[in-house]
Amino acid sequence: MFVFLSRGRDTDLQFNNYTPKADGQQQFRILLQGPAGAGKSSFINSVISRLESRISVRAAVWNTGQSGFTKEYKTYRIKTRNQENMSPLVLNDMMGLENISRRHRRVHVKDVEKAMKGHIKDGYKFNPDSSLSETDPFYNKTPNVNDKVHVLVSVIDADKVHLLSDKVVEIIQDIRDDATDLGIPHVAILTKIDEVCPEIKKDVKNLCRSRLLQEMVKDISKKVGIPENCIFPVKNYHSERNVDNDIDALVLNTLKRIIEIADEYTNI
């Protein structure tokens, strides 16, 4: 059963005052990966919109009829509420995991591992045919704790859960194995939940009672091995022109749990 918690002042203060726990760590890096068009960039925009209190379109998103826009390793940093400093939260976007066409090809799996280790510099354009070479100028030879990924997030489109190919599932499992070897926690976000559940489209708080979502979460958990309590349904900002308290609460609660899970790994 999902729990919908309203956004509150205490939670807001936790994010405004958040400091990474590991020694020498000033940034908390979240790497988003998943099938092309699943909503990675939209989630980034939703997080920025929530934390900066204004609708953001900083991460480029294609129209519904198109799939997969991100072609390079892109870092997004977030300003604090007072707009004077940068938040320690850092989000990284990357190319999708599957081939849609010759124009929209998937990321090389070895590049995901290199990104998690902190070896990829911002702006690197992915080459589906070969992994980043150590001689490439975008290869970071000496990554520090701030360059490394602290939590891996698989982004999955709720409307496409039943269409996930065996190949994509295998890729996610392989990346999950790499993350486990590196001591990086792996969670998943289930996006576009309002497009598959009419009751959620009417009121996002109805996700708490959606049996369809619960079945989707169980399906994803069974396919890729992520525990059900580490899979979070989310409605991203899409057509809204102003921030919405209920969408904010859902995004904020998800972000809070992601940070808590990563912090647990830090303390192990």
What is the DSSP pairing of strand 86-93 with strand 28-33?
A: parallel
pTM recorded for the entire structure: 0.89
Residue-wise pLDDT for 140-164, tens only, equals 999 999 999 999 999 999 998 988 8
Is the pLDDT reported for residue 103 higher than 50? no
Q: What is the mean pLDDT of residues 39-52?
A: 91
Q: Taking all residues of the chain, what is their mean pLDDT, rounded to a whole number?
A: 85
Residue-wise pLDDT for 226-266, tens only, equals 999 999 999 999 888 898 999 999 998 999 999 999 988 87
What is the DSSP pairing of strand 74-79 with strand 86-93?
A: antiparallel
Spatial CB neighbours of 213, under 8 Å, sequence gap ≥ 6 = 2, 158, 190, 193, 197, 200, 207, 233
Residues of the chain with pLDDT > 90: what percent? 50
Q: Are 118 and 140 in contact (CB under 8 A)?
A: yes
Among the residue ranges 35-39, 69-73, 205-209, 211-215, the one predicted with the least confidence is 69-73
What's the pLDDT at 102?
Answer: 43
How many of the other CB atoms lie within 10 Å of CB of 14?
A: 13
Strand partners, 157: 191
Rounded Cα distance between 169 and 180, Å, is 16
Q: Where are the domains of the chain?
A: 24-267
**What's the longest Cα–Cα distance across the chain?**
52
Residues of the chain with pLDDT > 70: what percent? 84
CATH top-level class for 24-267? Answer: alpha beta
- What's the token pair of residue 117? 């280790």
What's the pLDDT at 71?
Answer: 78
**Contacts for 81-86 with beta carbons within 8 Å, 24 or more apart?**
81/12, 81/16, 81/51, 81/52, 81/53, 83/52
Is the pLDDT reported for residue 104 higher than 90? no
Rounded Cα distance between 214 and 208, Å, is 9
What's the pLDDT at 101?
Answer: 46
Is the pLDDT reported for residue 18 higher than 90? no
Is the pLDDT reported for residue 128 higher than 80? no
Nearest alpha carbon to residue 114 among 38, 192, 31, 45: 31
